[in-house]
Copies of this chain bind each other. A is one copy, B any other.
Amino acid sequence: MNSEPKPKGREAVKLWRRKKIIDATIEIITRHGIAGTTIARVVELADVSMGLVNVHFKSKDALLTEVLRQMADEYKLHWRHKLEVAALEPASRLQALVLADFDPEVLNLKTLGIWFAFRAQVRARPGYLDLVGTRESEQIQTTVELFRKLNRETGLEHDAVLLTRALSAMLEGLWTEYYLYPGEFDRDGALASVFLFLNVLYPGRFQGVGVK
């Protein structure tokens, strides 16, 4: 655990400990799954006392939900940021969206471990659904718009909704591949698959990107 040094000030220490608990929880879920995530393991890794979890979070459940919410927020901020700094042409923006999903900040064992762990709980706890959904609707909407713009630019008439669905599914599927076989996963090859698809759809628009 790479923990930051203990800060000074009462409130600061409190927040610092809270963060330690959340980070430890993420690590433990990644290693042992949700079923294997016990308060005892979390507090040992976070190096805090047993009772502190129930001081900061009302219950174990609340802690888990908090962890998930944080993950979801980070993901959202991440792709939005990547979009902000991207160029204005639709192809560049779409490319940015795709690349965002393969950025190590997102595509790493911890993030995906949490993601898949909570997804497995969706049927039992429908409340999680909003947080673990396949790409939130804002992102979907953005993608549809980009395909529409691409159509307009190129004069092609692909069904933007269907394309969005296909692209989202592909990204989702490649995440799954990474989650299951993190050791063998080949990021460039995965990107090549995606851009092969986009290149065939809009010839020339994604040339040279993601080519192995």
Q: Which A positions have Cβ atoms within 8 angstroms of B?
A: 30-36, 109, 113, 116-117, 119-124, 129, 132-134, 158-159, 162-163, 165-166, 168-174, 176-177, 179-181, 189-190, 192-194, 196-197, 200-201, 212
Are B132 and A180 in contact, with the CB atoms below 8 A?
A: yes
Distance in angstroms from A49 CB to nearest chain B CB is 14
Contacts of A36 in B (CB 8 A): 124
* Known contacts A34-B35, A119-B116, A120-B119; A169 and B180 CB within 8 A of each other: no
* Known contacts A132-B180, A166-B193, A180-B134; A32 and B173 CB within 8 A of each other: no
Are B117 and A120 in contact, with the CB atoms below 8 A?
A: yes
Are B189 and A165 in contact, with the CB atoms below 8 A?
A: yes
* Known contacts A159-B196, A166-B170; A177 and B119 CB within 8 A of each other: no
Are A33 and B124 in contact, with the CB atoms below 8 A?
A: yes
Can you list 11 A-B contacts (CB < 8 A)? A33-B34, A33-B35, A35-B121, A119-B120, A119-B176, A162-B196, A165-B189, A166-B193, A169-B173, A169-B174, A173-B176
Contacts of A212 in B (CB 8 A): 162
Copies of this chain, tallied across the complex = 4
* Known contacts A113-B123, A116-B120, A158-B196; A133 and B170 CB within 8 A of each other: no
Contacts of A189 in B (CB 8 A): 162, 165
Which among B33, B162, B200 is the interface contact of A123 at CB below 8 angstroms?
Answer: B33
Are B123 and A120 in contact, with the CB atoms below 8 A?
A: no
Distance in angstroms from A120 CB to nearest chain B CB is 3
Distance in angstroms from A36 CB to nearest chain B CB is 5
* Known contacts A35-B121, A123-B33; A169 and B176 CB within 8 A of each other: yes
Are A180 and B116 in contact, with the CB atoms below 8 A?
A: no
Look across to chain B and name the residue whose beta carbon is closest to the beta carbon of A31.
B123
Q: CA A30 – CA B172 in complex, angstroms?
A: 21
Are B166 and A196 in contact, with the CB atoms below 8 A?
A: yes
Contacts of A30 in B (CB 8 A): 123
